[in-house]
Amino acid sequence: MTVQLTHFSAAFVFALFASVVFGITHRDTTRDMVRYGLYCFVMFLGGLLLAGWAMWLIRR
């Protein structure tokens, strides 16, 4: 059995799981864990979209 993810879905899954682990391990309280996990997730995906658009502009 194999899984074929698109580039974006692979990055999405990566960001999701990495953010969960970062949130749990880098903060002390539950509230801070959720907030930091969400922050990491947004940064991962935001960076991905920014890099994508930057590459599109460079290519033009």
Partner 1 sequence: MANSTTAKAKTVEPAQPATMMSVLAPAVGWLIPGAGHLIQKRWIRGLLLLLSIGALFVLGLLMQGHIYKANGGDILDILGFIGDLGAGGMYITTLAMNGGQGAIAFAIADYGTKFMIVAGLLNFIAVADAYHIAIGKKQ
For 18, the token pair is: 């990495």
Interaction residues for partner 1, span 1-30 (CB under 8 A): 1-5, 7, 10, 13-14, 16-18, 20-22, 24-25, 28-29
59: tokens are: 């290519």
Maximum CA extent, the chain: 46
Q: Which is nearer to partner 1, 51 or 60 (CB)?
A: 51
**CA-CA distance, 14 to 8, in Å (whole number)?**
10
In the complex with partner 1, the residue whose CB is nearer, 59 or 60, is 59
Q: Tokens 């920014």 identify what position?
A: 50
Contacting residues toward partner 1, per CB under 8 A: 1-5, 7, 10, 13-14, 16-18, 20-22, 24-25, 28-29
